[in-house]
Amino acid sequence: MKMTGSQIFLKCLEREGVKHIFGFPGGVVLDIYDELTRAPFIKHILVRHEQGAAHAADGYARASGKVGVCLVTSGPGATNTVSGIASAYMDSIPIVVFTGQVPTPLIGNDAFQEVDIVGITRPCTKHNYLVKDVKDLARIIHEAFHIARTGRPGPVLVDLPKDVVQGVTTPKFPEQIRIKSYNPNYHANPKQIKKALELILKAQRPVIYAGGGVILSKASEELTKFAEALQIPVTTTLMGLGGFPAPHSLWLGMLGMHGTYYANMSVHHCDVLIAVGSRFDDRVTGKIEEFAPHAKIIHIDIDPTSISKNVVVDIPIVGDCQDALSQLNALAAEHLPRELSQAHRAWLAQIDQWKKEHPLTYDRNSGDLKPQFVVEKLYELTQGNAIISTEVGQNQMWAAQFYPIRHPNRWLSSGGLGCMGYGFPAALGAQVACPDDIVIDIAGDGSIQMNIQELATAVEYDLPVKVAILNNGYLGMVRQWQQLFYERRYSFTPMVSPDFVKLAEAYGALGLRAEKPSEVEAVIREALNTRKPVLMDFRVAPEECVLPMVPAGAPMHKMLLT
Amino acid sequence: MRHVISVSVDNEPGVLSRVTGLFSGRGFNIESLCVAPTIDPDVSHITLVTTGNEMIIEQIIKQLRKLINVIKVVDLTATEHVEREMALVKVKAEDRQRAEVLRIADIFRCRVVDVSPASYTLEITGTTEKLNAVLGLLKTIGIQEVVRSGSLAIQRSRKD
């Protein structure tokens, strides 16, 4: 049967199981948008800026574990998605971005709203395509979804020239996929697994350092089982939060620049470090030469390029985290139950000591409204059950420190790219994926303004996301660095903001404000009891710092604690 | 250390830019690059010369393998291989120098591919070292222009 390009496009999305698209129309995608009126199986959410579409697709993917999809027009529509694509790329999030393109005869002619988006996004996508012939459309879309969701996931962009979308052909929808040069290795080598387990069983001071790979491969149950069976403490990266059920007796919290004292001390002093689905980012390792200096390192990752990229690894294991951990669990079972060695018990006692000496804390008696207090209250009043998204900066670190995440896919944060403006649209995406959950964006007064226009989207589609703005009147994290390393010269970090309560009302959302600690609970309760989007403006202590902190370039055990 | 890397890729627009983008984006260096289709018209072959320590070369090879359009990557440096490069060089040749240029060409088995009253154009094929040696000698006479192909390399067949 003959079909147009736009009919094929929508048929392909249906075959991939797509239920939601985040998008914004324009000249060259008119045909697709016209066809959308005849596609009841897909719900299109109209964002207010294309960056919001990319982040929303990302948040949707993180919360649901499915591929997020967005659709935008050529030129500025396409370039506006780039920050969102780059963020998804850094965090290995599966999204497929469809961009319109000028008709093929015009490509390269500097046509109206033309941009070489395939060229622009080459370094920040897992793969991208320019479709030149409507006959290739069905195959390419199928490949795009396959590449986005398999192996180390990531964003894939498909550029659709207008004449391709308007073209007519009898499509062949591929059932199977064969890309001869793309075969990710899921199965970890059993020999390496055996070697790793031997090393782990002999370890006196083992630590697991888990990252986003645990979430992406749905390995958190296997991870928890392994850690509990062998009594190994677990720290995770920002991306790995939710991969291990916090709070837990073996839980060390997050490591790295704003990690807990005890997580960083444990990694610094361990003799075997088991890295699972993590990539030794500089925000985690600090001064790389002094990272885990006494440890033999085991590294499990599906992406071979992650292994021995920053740190030389003793036992590399290329494979899916879930596969590797279940093999480790099966093999470890032969050694169970197992009496812990004297040294291992002493190690756990040492860690408990560190936890007691320097727990995560802040000045609770100052009388000021502290941002950490707000996050703690959010945790308490949601019983830790909300999906949390964050913006970037101090708000993100306080959220990571004071809202322990119990389950995977409940924590959405732009980790690698550190993209301000991520949290709010990502929260909308998560709310679309999980309509019955409470979704909270923990934000700052700076970063919320980077995509504040999406309030209109939230109101239009009745997405009752709660935004908790930790409003300190500064670009807080940059201000903190200026305070600590630039002698308090606050260059362009003080910031004037609109009245967020009135702003919320102008958009048709609810605005609430708390200026004193005593007002916080009532505000949060009202927000949680309101079935519409809410902006909560918490006027917090302006010069509060995120602590502990490892100064950039310092080794991890040299933390600023006060 | 210098490494010669052999890469088979899909013969499609944009693939070369994915390969070179990988190098520029990570600050790796490309010393030379040779690309042409193979006997299979869907596959192109790239011979790439780069330098770096062991960790960098390992990264380069893994990153190349990660590209969806890259079919096969072999580091030829670790194996027995034959390497050749070609140069076309326009040498000033007047009066007595005309004979000297031809003598050098003869010694190094170069071919004269173009002649004018004031110059010869020579085709030189060999290893990079040989090309450097010939060009060094011709430089004293006067090189007007030189173009080099970059290295091509192929694995030696097993002899047993």
Residue ending a domain, among A295, A330, A357, is A357
Domain CATH number, residue A120: 3.40.50.970
What is the count of structural domains for chain A? 3
Catalytic residue list contains A162: yes
Q: Residue A315 has which token pair?
A: 């036992």
User: Which residue from A57, A47, A48, A49 is spatially nearest to A18, judged by alpha carbons?
Assistant: A57
In a domain, A551, yes or no: no
* Residue located via tokens 């850094």: A90
Question: Do A200 and A296 touch, CB atoms closer than 8 A?
Answer: no
CA proximity to A298, closest of A269, A272, A261, A264: A272
Q: DSSP letter at A549?
A: B
- Structure token digits, residue A334: 């032969």
Q: d(Cα A388, Cα A411) in Å, to the nearest integer? A: 5
- On whether residue A554 sits in a domain, the answer given is no
**CA geometry: angle A257, A258, A259, nearest 5 deg:** 95
pLDDT in tens, A268-284: 999 999 999 999 999 99
Task: Verify that A262 and A402 share a domain, yes or no.
Answer: no
Q: For residues A129 and A118, is the Cβ–Cβ distance under 8 A?
A: yes
Q: Of the candidates A169, A202, A231, which is a domain's last residue?
A: A169
Distance from CA of B127 to the nearest CA of A (A): 32
Active-site residue (options: A9, A16, A24, A50): A50
Residue range A121-143, pLDDT digits in tens: 999 999 999 999 999 999 999 99
At B39-63, the pLDDT tens digits run 999 999 999 999 999 999 999 999 9
Give pLDDT, residue A417: 97
Average pLDDT, chain A: 97
Alpha carbons within 13 A on the beta-carbon side of A87: 31
- Residue of B11, B26, B66 for testing the chain A interface, max A β-carbons within 10 Å: B66
- CATH assignment of B2-78? 3.30.70.260
Closest A-chain CA to B59: A305
Give the Cβ contact number of residue B67 at 10 Å. 21
| Nearest CA among A403, A533, A409 for reference residue A58 | A409
pLDDT-derived band at A487 (thresholds 50, 70, 90) equals: very high
Are A425 and A501 part of one and the same domain? yes
Q: Is B130 exposed, middle or buried (0-12, 13-18, 19+ CB in 10 A)?
A: middle
A490 and A404 fall within a common domain: yes
For chain A positions 179-238, those within 8 Å of chain B (CB to CB) are 179-182
The domain boundary, picked from A357, A384, A409, lies at A357
pTM of the full predicted structure? 0.95
- Report the 3 state secondary structure along chain B: CEEEEEEEEECCCCHHHHHHHHHHHHCCEEEEEEEEECCCCCEEEEEEEEECCHHHHHHHHHHHHHCCCEEEEEEHHHCCEEEEEEEEEEEECCCCHHHHHHHHHHHCCCEEEEEECCEEEEEEEECHHHHHHHHHHHHHHCEEEEEECCCEEEECCCCC
Please name the helix (run of DSSP H) or strand (run of DSSP E) that holds residue A9, with its range, or none: helix A5-15
- Separation of CA A493 from chain center: 26
> Is residue A149 a part of any domain in this protein?
yes
Q: Where in chain B is the domain with CATH 3.30.70.1150?
A: 82-155
Fold type of domain B82-155: Alpha-Beta Plaits (3.30.70)
Task: Summarize the confidence of residues A477-501 as an average pLDDT.
Answer: 97
Q: How confident is the model at residue A535 (pLDDT cuts 50, 70, 90)?
A: very high
How much of chain A exceeds pLDDT 70, in percent? 100
* DSSP element (H, E) containing A83: helix A82-90
pLDDT tens per residue, range A170-201: 999 998 888 888 999 999 999 999 999 999 99
Determine the average pLDDT of the residues in A551-557: 90
The tokens for A224 are 């928890």
ipTM: 0.89
The parent domain of residue A297 ranges over 190-357
One domain for residues A91 and A227: no
Pair A515, A430 in one domain: yes
Are A287 and A351 in the same domain?
yes
Nearest to A147 among B21, B63, B68 (CB): B68
On whether the CB atoms of residues A301 and A279 are closer than 8 A, the answer is: yes
Q: Which of A167, A160, A171 is nearest to A29 (CA)?
A: A160
Rounded mean pLDDT of A201-221?
A: 98
List A126, A162, A296, A466, catalytic entry: A162
Question: Which residues of chain B form CATH 3.30.70.260?
Answer: 2-78
A502 has catalytic annotation: no
Quick one: A29 and A151 in the same domain? yes
Contact partners, residue A397, CB within 8 Å, separation at least 6: A258, A477, A546
Residue A156 falls within a domain, yes or no?
yes
pLDDT at res. A308: 86
Question: How far does the CA of residue B60 sit from the closest CA of chain A (Å)?
Answer: 9
With a pLDDT cut of 90, the percent of chain A lying above it is 96
Any domain includes A183: no
Cβ-defined contact of A181 to B55 (cutoff 8 Å): no
Asked if A152 and A198 sit in the same domain, the reply is no
What is the structure's pLDDT at A562? Answer: 82
- The answer to whether the Cβ–Cβ distance between A122 and B63 falls below 8 Å is no
The b/e string for A513-552 (b: 16+ C-beta within 10 A; e otherwise) is bbeebeebeebbeebbeeebbbbbbbbbbeebbbbbbbee
Same domain, A378 and A523: yes
Q: Any residues with CB less than 8 A from the CB of A45 and at least 6 apart, and which?
A: A20, A21, A22, A23, A56, A428, A432, A457, A461
Chain A residues whose CB is inside 8 A of the B55 CB are: 308, 312
User: Which residue type sits at B39?
Assistant: I
Instruction: Kindly state whether residue A434 falls inside one of the protein's structural domains.
Output: yes
Cross-chain residue pair B55–A308, CB shorter than 8 Å: yes
- Among A123, A147, A312, select the one facing B21 at the smallest CB separation: A123
pLDDT in the model for residue B134 = 95
Residues of A in contact with B66 (CB under 8 A): 303-305
Do both A283 and A346 map to the same domain?
yes
Query: How big is chain B by its Cα radius of gyration, in Å?
Result: 19
| Residue A529 belongs to a domain | yes
A305 closest CB neighbour out of B14, B21, B63: B63
Strand bridging mode A534-539 / A127-130: unpaired
The low-confidence residues of chain B, meaning pLDDT below 50, are none
Residues in Cβ contact with A498 at an 8 Å cutoff, skipping those fewer than 6 apart: none
Report how far residue A147's alpha carbon sits from residue A139's, in angstroms, rounded to the nearest whole number.
Answer: 12
> Looking at the partner chain, which of A118, A309, A312 has a beta carbon nearest the beta carbon of B14?
A118
In the structure encoding, which two tokens stand for residue A158, read together?
């498909």
Q: In this predicted structure, what is the pLDDT of residue A252? A: 97
- Is the pLDDT confidence value at A448 over 90? yes
Report the alpha-carbon distance of residue A369 to residue A117 in Å, rounded. 46
Residue pLDDT, tens place only, A381-406: 999 999 999 999 999 999 999 999 99
Q: Is residue A185 a part of any domain in this protein?
A: no
Same domain, A94 and A11: yes
A12 and A100 inside one domain: yes
Report the pLDDT value the prediction gives residue A118, as an integer from 0 to 100.
97
* B contacts of A148 (beta carbons < 8 Å): none
Assess whether the previous peptide bond of A247 is cis (omega < 30° from 0).
yes
Asked if B14 lies within 8 A of A181 by C-beta distance, the reply is: no
